[in-house]
Structure 1
Amino acid sequence: VKRNIPDECKNIPITNKMLWTENFAHESVPEACKSTYVHTKGKLLSMHLDEDLETYGELEVLYFLKEMQHNDQMLLIDSRTEKWFNYRTIPGAINMPFKYFEKRDEYNFHFEYALKHLGAFIQKDGEYDFSSVKTLVLFCNGPWCNQSPRMIFALLKIGYPAEKLKWYRGGMQDWLGAGMTSTRE
Structure 2
Amino acid sequence: MRLADSGLVVIDATWGTIRPMQLADGVCTVGELEVMEHLDRGLSLIDSRPAEAYGSSTIPGARNIPHDETVERISQLDPAQPTIFFCNGPQCAASPEAIDALLTSKYPPAAIHYYRGGLHDWISLGLPTEPPSPPA
Q: Equivalent residue of 1:92, what SS?
A: coil
Corresponding residue for 2:111?
A: 164
2:83 aligned with 1:116, yes or no? Answer: no
Distance 1:164 1:36 in 2: 32
- Aligned-pair CA distance for 1:100: 1.0
Runs of 4+ aligned residues of structure 1 deviating over 2 Å after TM superposition are none
Structure 2 letter corresponding to 1:95: N
- Aligned-pair CA distance for 1:184: 3.1
Show the 5 A alignment for 1:119-134: 119=78, 133-134=80-81
Task: Name the count of aligned residue pairs.
Answer: 125
Structure showing greater radius of gyration is 1
Q: What TM-score, normalized to structure 1? A: 0.63
Corresponding residue for 2:47?
A: 78
Distance 1:153 1:66 in 2: 27
Q: Equivalent residue of 2:26, what SS?
A: coil
Structure 2 letter corresponding to 1:115: I
Q: Deviations over 1:74-123 (max 9, x none)?
A: 3100001100001000010000001013xx5xxxxxx1xx222214xxxx
Corresponding residue for 1:124?
A: none
Distance 1:48 1:80 in 2: 20
- Equivalent residue for 2:36, pick from 62, 82, 92: 62
Root mean square deviation of aligned Cα: 1.8
Percent identity, aligned pairs only, is 36
Task: Give 1 or 2: higher helix fraction.
Answer: 1
Corresponding residue for 2:13?
A: 39
Show the 5 A alignment for 1:129-144: 133-144=80-91
Q: Equivalent residue of 1:138, what SS?
A: strand
Q: Equivalent residue of 2:20, what SS?
A: coil
Q: What TM-score, normalized to structure 2? A: 0.85
> For structure 2, which runs of at least 5 residues remain unmatched after alignment?
1-8
2:68 aligned with 1:99, yes or no? Answer: yes
